[in-house]
Structure 1
Amino acid sequence: MPTLSLASLPIRRLTLRDLALCADLSENRGWPREEHKWAFLLTAAQGYGIDDPEGGLVAACTVTEYGTPGRPDLAAIGMVLVAERHARQGVGRRLMRHVMAELGTTPLTLHATPKGRPLYEELGFKTTGRAEMVRGHFVPDPIGTRVATRPATAEDIAAVLRLDGEVFGSDRTHVITRLPAFADHLHVAEEGGRITGYAAAWPNVDTHVVGPLVARDTGTAKALTASLAARVDRPLRTDIDARHKELLAWVKERGLTTVAVNSVMTYGITRLPGDAARRFAPVTVAAG
């Protein structure tokens, strides 16, 4: 298909009705179909796509907005995909520019693979951090932990939202309140009746992904990870902020290995808001 025709195809909003098309596009690019994650993103976030007149999608991406509805103070871009036969024709650039124009002055963030980073740099994004993706069968720590963890209850959600708002620096109510349905397990760490951290484990193809992981300190992050690992029998995967070297070393001792290192990039801000010291892993790199 000529570039001119691609440039004339309209960009539209995606909905849950497009779930199969999004999964097909992932598969086309050699990614897992990730239908569970796509369903979450198409409800908690906004999808954008370009229809292929011959069937399927030419390209797609998602945008998760945080803050006041209608006046977000941060947006995370993810799942930027272009069908193989339309690759390297400027489609991804056009889709990104459209999304950036739609968001106006809203600060942006995304996780970029080494292959995708040059495009985002061209669009004005700056690398402000790194996230290390680790995967493997978790081996329990024989030393254990003194940090108390337990499954979250409905009564914990208000406290989890307060903690998340402090750590993330923006209101993520529409994402966090979906975690009990999205995740197989949602645990909290507690001390003296006060919640000091929380984490979820959600199913994704052949792994359970640990994310988000928010904790008072590394010891609490370890305890939450171990408590979730004890509840699942598939390999774990998580995307740990590379600044948390102690946690990274610990999970590697426990059987996980690095499978990728991605750049955390921002546009319109020089650093992500909130408290990086307590922000260990995102819900998913596609949504922050």
Structure 2
Amino acid sequence: MPMPPLAALPIRRLTPRDLTACADLSEDRGWPREEHKWGLLLAAGTGYGIDDPEGGLVTACVVTGYGSRHTPDLCGIGMVLVAERHARRGVGRRLMRHVMAECGTSPLTLYATPNGRPLYEELGFKATGSSEMVLGHFTADGPTSAVATRPATAEDLTTLVRLDGEVFGVDRTHLITRLPAFADLVRVAEDNGRITGYAAAWPNMDTHVVGPLIARDLGTAKALVSSLAAATDRPLRTDVDVRHADLLAWLKERGLASVGFNAVMTHGVPDLPGDWRRRFAPLTVAAG
């Protein structure tokens, strides 16, 4: 029996049961499987995909909504993937149009690779910023920071959610409350008993990804990264807003190297909400 045309295959909601199929799709496109990250995204967000009658997924993506539950204040779109055997046949465009319609009037954001950016521009997204991915073994150097850091505790969670909402600009309670289980390390910075920043390091293949990284200032951000690095032997990876040039220079001086750039893009809003000066790195670019 001939396979139905791609345009006739229905788009459906994905669930955590689709995690292996999503990881297979990542691998098909030459990306790491990233099952740990897929697990978070499928639990905290809404996945969309098309089943391949011959097995696996034709395409997939995940939308993470923030703020209001019924009409989100912001939707982050990520992990937009099309199987190699179905590439360049309009499948990604069809999926994106469906997702944008599902999001309704909510503003949208995503991190675009150079390859993906033309499609998103065609769909009306505008580049509003850029992030640089850096990766490598962190080498401590110089005097110990005067900024005090410590492991986060369960009692800190309410404060972290409040601080995160203030800096990110919309409520991310459903994501931040998953951090203790998702991340291997979560640390806070304090000044006279007041939390002035926090950061997490979560496992992704053979690295630890630093994110989110939210801090009052550059010195606080450096102290948080240093404290995370001291607790792991894995290479660190993080995606830093390029406006934080001083942090990027400091990371490169300590062994991390640039491995690429992503355009930060928005739709339906001229810029992202919140305070970028305290938002150094996202939890993951896949969640906006």
Q: Give the structure-2-normalised TM-score.
A: 0.98
Mapped partners of 2:198, 2:283: distance in 1: 11
Percent of aligned pairs with the same residue? Answer: 74
1:91: which partner in 2? 91
Shift of 1:3: 11
Q: Spell out, residue by residue over 1:85-123, the C-alpha distance to the aligned partner (whole angstroms, 9 max, x if none).
A: 100000000000000000111000000001100000000
Partner SS, residue 286 of structure 2: coil
Q: CA separation in 1, counterparts of 2:118 and 2:205?
A: 29
Aligned length: 288
Q: How does 1:113-124 map to 2 (within 5 A)?
A: 113-124=113-124
- The equivalent residue for 2:150 is 150
Q: In the alignment, which residue of structure 2 is the partner of 1:9?
A: 9
In the alignment, is the contact (CA less than 8 A) between 1:51 and 1:57 conserved in 2?
yes
Structure 1 contact 14–48 (Cα < 8 Å) conserved: yes
How far off its partner does 1:69 sit? 1.1
Q: Kindly state the Cα deviation for residue 190 of structure 1 after the two structures are TM-superposed.
A: 0.5
Measured after TM superposition, the shift of residue 142 of structure 1 is 2.2
Partner of 1:26: 26
1:3–1:268 Cα change, 3 Å:
farther
Q: Give the match's secondary structure for 2:139.
A: coil
Amino acid at match of 1:138: F
**Unpaired runs of at least 5, structure 2:** none
Name the SS of the counterpart of 2:72 in structure 1: strand
4+ runs of 1 displaced by more than 2 Å? Answer: none
User: Which residue in 2 is equivalent to 1:109?
Assistant: 109
Match of 2:231 in 1: 231
Change (3 A) 1:234 1:271: same
* Equivalent residue number for residue 195 of structure 1: 195
**Code of the aligned partner of 1:234:** R
Alignment partner, residue 251 of structure 1:
251
Deviation at 1:4, TM superposition (A): 7.3
For 1:95, what is the secondary structure of its paired residue?
A: helix
What amino acid does structure 2 have at the position aligned with 1:104? G
The one-letter amino acid of 2:88's match is R
Aligned counterparts of 1:272 and 1:142: Cα–Cα separation in 2: 35
2:266 corresponds to: 266
**Offset at 1:141?**
2.3
Q: Offset of 1:144 from its aligned partner? A: 2.0
Q: Deviations over 1:147-197 (max 9, x none)?
A: 000000000011111110110000000000000000000000001111000
Residue 49 of structure 1 aligns to which amino acid in structure 2? G
Distance 1:183 1:53, change over 3 A: same
Displacement of 1:68 = 1.5
Residue 71 of structure 1: how far off its partner (Å): 2.0
- What runs of 5+ residues in structure 1 fail to find an aligned partner? none
Q: Which moved more, 1:141-150 or 1:75-84?
A: 141-150
1:221 aligns with 2:221: yes
Partner of 2:63: 63
Counterparts of 1:123-134 in structure 2, within 5 Å, are 123-134=123-134
| Residue identity matched to 2:213 | L
Q: 1:279 to 1:3 in 2, by over 3 A?
A: farther
8 A Cα contact 1:3 1:89, kept in partner: no
Measured in 1, the distance between the counterparts of 2:266 and 2:157 equals: 29
The alignment's C-alpha RMSD in Å is 1.3
Note the C-alpha offset of 1:29: 0.2
SS state at 1:265 partner: strand
Corresponding position: 1:186 with 2:215? no
Q: Which residue identity does 1:86 align to in structure 2?
A: H
